[in-house]
Amino acid sequence: MRTRDVVVIGCSAGGVDALPRIIQQLPADFPASVFIVQHIAATKTPYLVDILSRNAQVPVTWGEQGERFVQGHVYVAPPDAHMIFSEDDHIALTRGAREKHSRPSIDKLFRSAAATHAGRVIGVLLTGMLDDGVAGLCAIRDAGGRVVVQDPQDAAFPDLPANALLSLVPDRILGIDAIAAALAVLVQEPMAMSPLPEAIVLEAALDRMVTSTPQQMSKLGPQSALSCPDCAGPTWQLGGESDRRYRCYLGHVSTARELLARGEVAVEAALWSAVRALNERAMTLETLARDCEGIGNAQVAKDYHDRAEATRKQAELARHFMLDLMQHH
């Protein structure tokens, strides 16, 4: 009887402190393979494996390209690489586009696990910011896997687990110190035999290809009117109410929340740019006015002064509009 023997764990802010409290409780004969994505900046010294190895009874290593994974072992996604699965129980690393501004991406690992191992998977989402991992957790649920979310009240950064709870009802909501014991029970369960949604398989296949074509993207969902914030290319709308997101054919993925946040930054930058341009225009008009006064052309000088004053008023209106917009966001 095949059991749930693939455990995938995702976290971002606060994860370095939370993860050891799970890994150190796993027994040496833990009957599952464990895969971890912790958001790590590419410029940071890769220290996570050393931290997780301390007092651990199971070996902890960086995932390696083409490595065949085994039970009782923890594999960590290396910095600046997505860790996914091939179709024959091997690890694959890619340098594909960032998903939700992250590489490694929690969603990519979770989605790949759902597509290749379906009901064998247990997905765990811990402390962090924003929502990388939420769509992947939905994919695991839809493929027949089990879903565990850290209690937001127990998380150092509750945003990520709280966003997960807005999108799905997990099998367990637990404090960090109770998760290892729950995993010990869940890995004994027989794997679920559920139909695998075609969209999960197709998107995971595109992840392995790194980039795709507009024709392939059209199989996943309708083209959106929104542009990709990373490459300015077209996007396609994927998922439903619980995991809606926007993906371009280069592989960048954003949620509506992220598009809203990044759009607000872009609007603020554009408004500041407009204020600066108007102020500079007013200064240029004043310079021209003084030049005309210097050569005795009073009428033209007055026209420049009037235009400069009108431009300064426009700049002030733009500044007040921007400040009002920021207050309401």
305 annotated active-site: no
Residue of 132, 142, 154, 243 marked active site: 132
**With helix as H, strand as E and coil as C, how does the chain read?**
CCECCEEEEEECCCHHHHCHHHHCCCCCCCCCEEEEEECCCCCCCCCHHHHHHCCCCCCEEECCCCCECCCCEEEECCCCCEEEECCCCEEEEECCCCECCECCCHHHHHHHHHHHHHHHEEEEECCCCCCCCHHHHHHHHHCCCEEEEECHHHCCCCHHHHHHHHHCCCCEEECHHHHHHHHHHHCCCECCCCCCCHHHHHHHHHHHHCCCCHHHHHCCCCEEEEECCCCCCEEEEECCCCCCEEEECCCCEEEHHHHHHHHHHHHHHHHHHHHHHHHHHHHHHHHHHHHHHHCCCHHHHHHHHHHHHHHHHHHHHHHHHHHHHHHCC
Burial class (CB in 10 A: 0-12, 13-18, 19+), 137: buried
Residue of 5, 33, 39, 107 marked active site: 39
For the chain, the first-to-last Cα distance in angstroms comes to 53
Half-sphere exposure of 65 (CA within 13 A, CB side): 6
242 annotated active-site: no
Known catalytic residues are 12, 39, 132
